[in-house]
Amino acid sequence: MTAVKRADARKNIESIMDAATACLARDPDVSVAEIAKAAGVGRVTLYGHFESRATLVTQVVARAIQQSDEALGAVDLDGDPRAALRRLLEASWKLTQQYGALIVAAEQSMPHEQFQAIHVGLIDRWKPLMERGRSEGSFRDDQPLQWQLTLLQSVLHAASGAVYRGEIDAAEAAGLIDGTIQAALTAPE
C-alpha cells in the first residue's frame, strides 16, 4: 500500500468511527448502511475496515470507554468531598449525554461479562472519592459503599431515560442528579 492509500484508509477509518459513534449514540439499532452514509463512504469500504457490525460497535465502544475514562480521570477529586462529587457527577452526566444510546448498543453487541467488566472499570473511578467522603463524615456510611455506587449509576441512568422521554429538560438534569445524590448521601437526623 502506498503512503497516500494508507493515509486515505486512516481517514476513512476515523470517519467511520466518528459517524458510528454519533449514529449509535442516537439509535442503538442503526444499520451499517446508515453509518456508511453518515461517514461518506460506501458499504464495501466500511466492511473492508470492519468485518462486521459487531466488530465496528465493539471498537467504537472501546474508544468511547477510553475517552470516558480519561475524562473522569481528569476531574479534580481533591478538597471538599461534596464539591468533588458534584464535579464528578457533572463529568459523568456529560459523558452519559454524549454517548447516549451507545451504551445500549454495547450491551446488545458484546458479551455480558465484557460489558460488565468495562462498566465496573468506570465506576471504580468513583470509589476512592466515595470512600474518602464516608470516612471524613461528608457522606453517610450507614449503607454499604457498593449500594451507594449502584445508586449513583442508577440516578444517572434514570436522568438519561427521563430526558429521552421528554420528562425533564437536558439543561436541568445535572442539577437534579446532583441535588438527588447529595440528599441521598445525607443520613436523616
Q: Residues in the site for a second copy, rule: CB under 8 A?
A: 140, 142-144, 146-147, 150-151, 153-155, 157-158, 161-162, 167-168, 176, 179-180, 182-188
Instruction: Work out how close the CB of 22 gets to a second copy at its nearest, in angstroms, rounded to a whole number.
Output: 24
Grid cell, residue 167, equals 420528562
Listed residue (1, 18, 184) closest to 98, CA to CA: 18
Which residues touch 33 (CB under 8 Å, ≥6 apart)?
43
Which residue matches cell numbers 502506498? Answer: 2
Closest CB to a second copy among residues 66, 186:
186
Instruction: Work out how close the CB of 168 gets to a second copy at its nearest, in angstroms, rounded to a whole number.
Output: 6
Instruction: Work out how close the CB of 105 gets to a second copy at its nearest, in angstroms, rounded to a whole number.
Output: 17
Separation between Cα atoms, residue 20 and residue 58, nearest integer Å: 11
End-to-end CA distance of the chain: give it in Å, rounded. Answer: 70
Instruction: Work out how close the CB of 140 gets to a second copy at its nearest, in angstroms, rounded to a whole number.
Output: 8
Separation between Cα atoms, residue 115 and residue 102, nearest integer Å: 12
Grid cell, residue 56, equals 465496528
Closest CB to a second copy among residues 63, 119:
119
Closest CB to a second copy among residues 66, 154:
154
Listed residue (38, 91, 39) closest to 67, CA to CA: 91
Closest CB to a second copy among residues 22, 149:
149
Question: Residue 105: phi, psi to the nearest 5?
Answer: -60, -40
Instruction: Work out how close the CB of 151 gets to a second copy at its nearest, in angstroms, rounded to a whole number.
Output: 6
Closest CB to a second copy among residues 59, 182:
182
Q: Count of residues for the chain?
A: 189
